[in-house]
Structure 1
Amino acid sequence: MKITELREKTLSDLDKSLLSLRKVQFGLRFQLKTQQLTDTSQIKKVRKDIARIKTIIQEKEGGDEFRQSK
């Protein structure tokens, strides 16, 4: 997921995407523990996408507060 695509989405769309990615993350963790996951790099990619979405949500909700904390 590209950061520019995420910035164009609304907060409700970002929340839906975050929920979806968390479900995917849960499934990947489950597959990892049951030794069914073949590409373990997927876990890292999903974690980074979740972090990106959470950052954009923080920016949109916080506004100036986010910039001041840097």
Structure 2
Amino acid sequence: MAVGTKGLAPADLDGFDDETLVAKLKEQKEELFNLRFQAATGQLESHGRLKAVKRDIARIYTILRERELGIRTAPSVSE
């Protein structure tokens, strides 16, 4: 399994609405908690995964903040 998360590239995250981004943020925070717990108990095999999850969280926060400031636009809903 690869260490990085290719599904959370900034270009891919642009396509999600704010609610989906907040849900993904929650998932990543839960994963980070579990990874930290595994690291503390000595069960973590890939320490690089901690770094990748932290970066994913930062990417999501950045996109949400840029949308709040008007730097990025949220995807338009065409139904």
TM-score under structure 1 length normalisation = 0.88
Higher RCO, 1 vs 2 (CA within 8 Å, ≥6 residues apart): 2
Q: Partner of 2:76 in structure 1? A: none
Listed as ranges, the matches of 1:25-64 within 5 Å are: 25-64=32-71
Which of structure 1's runs of 4+ aligned residues deviate more than 4 A?
A: none
How far apart are the structure 1 equivalents of 2:70 and 2:29? 25
How big is the shift at 1:52? 0.3
Please provide the CA RMSD for this pair.
Answer: 0.8
Q: Partner of 1:22 in structure 2? A: 29
- In the alignment, structure 1 residue 13 sits paired with structure 2 residue 17: no
TM-score under structure 2 length normalisation = 0.78
Unaligned stretches of 5+ residues in structure 1:
65-70
Query: In the comparison of the two structures, how many residue pairs are matched?
Result: 64
Unaligned stretches of 5+ residues in structure 2:
1-7, 72-79
Cα-to-partner distance string for 1:8-54 (whole Å, 9 max, x where unaligned): 11000000000000000000000000000000000000000000000
Higher helix fraction (1 or 2): 1
How far apart are the structure 2 equivalents of 1:55 and 1:29? 23
How far apart are the structure 2 equivalents of 1:6 and 1:42? 19
